[in-house]
Amino acid sequence: MSSATSPAAQLPDGGRLTTGLLLAAVGAVLFSGKAIVIKLAYRYGVDAETLLALRMLLALPFFAAALVVSTRGAPALTARDHLRLWAIGLSGYYLASYLDFLGLQYVSAALERLILYLNPTVVLLLSALWLRRRIARGELAALGLSYAGIVLVFWHDLRLEGRAVALGAALVFAATVCYAFYLVLAGELVRRIGAVRLTAYAMCVATLGVLVQFAALRPLASLAQPAPVWWLSAFNALACTVVPVFATMLAVARIGASRVALMGMVGPIATIALGYVFLGEAISGGQLAGTAFVLAGVWVLSRQSA
């Protein structure tokens, strides 16, 4: 037996737990920053199609490099694998991202993050409808808590922003459903080909979809944006996309998906704080109560499936 081990394996259990929790927290906070960066960029008059194209163009070299590295020495993909990866990339990353960018034009960063955080509940509902999986009583309680919380935060935004909030919330929820479909479809595939390879491949496919859409809807001159839009897009691509994707992968490898999901609860709280600091978004008792309900619902659901 070879004595060589991975760096993670050389760490004591306490060290692996600590680094895993830190990586999961960093990933959750940086993912949460995406909504803040997008809403700051919208202040310069840029449209969703151009902003998404800038983000994906700047992130593409990193995911392309990850795809090349993860493919070396790996088994060849079948034609069915390629089809599924294209479906995952176009639905779970391209369409979900586009709907999310559109929705952020109408809702607060806090509401957007909470709706996206409903993802486990949407996966549960899809599994029940599609895979005929029975929903347990505890899971029903988790669903009730989560969606009651969303109603509270939605009502907070509705009073401040007006009826356009309903459109924005619907768009973000549609993005959540698209991403949930990706999770359901990718379950078996990610175990077989690896998380890095799947994510890198799907992100490259998503980038192609974004660029085709941009070419069809916007002239090339739309990329001539003010310097702040480019800087915000670069930050979004690197700090809010590439780094958290790989930080979350490393965290899962160290502490498991269930612990990473629980650490993800930092995300909505971070979004509320960041929205208050950088966007001047109001914080109300109802919003905090709604956030607590959503987090409690996801926590109960995670305990049910643990």
pLDDT digits (tens, 9 = 90+) for 66-119: 999 999 999 999 999 999 999 989 988 899 999 999 999 999 998 998 898 888
pLDDT digits (tens, 9 = 90+) for 3-30: 444 444 444 466 788 888 899 889 889 9
* pLDDT value for 275: 92
* pLDDT value for 246: 87
Residue ranges of domains in the chain? 13-305
Handedness of CA 116, 94, 214, 57 (dihedral sign): positive
pLDDT digits (tens, 9 = 90+) for 211-235: 999 999 999 999 999 999 999 999 9
Which residue, among 234, 123, 273, has the nearest Cα to 185 in the 3D structure?
123
Per-residue pLDDT at 277 exceeds 90: yes
Better-scored residue on pLDDT, 303 or 205: 205
Per-residue pLDDT at 304 exceeds 70: no
Residue the block writes with tokens 């660029």: 211
Average pLDDT over residues 188-209: 89
CA-CA distance, 241 to 245, in Å (whole number)? 6
pTM of the predicted structure, to 2 decimals: 0.85
* pLDDT value for 2: 43
The SS3 call for residue 304 is helix
Count of alpha carbons within 13 Å of 132, Cβ hemisphere only? 0
Per-residue pLDDT at 159 exceeds 80: no
Return the ∠ at Cα 169 (arms to 236 and 211), rounded to 5°. Answer: 40
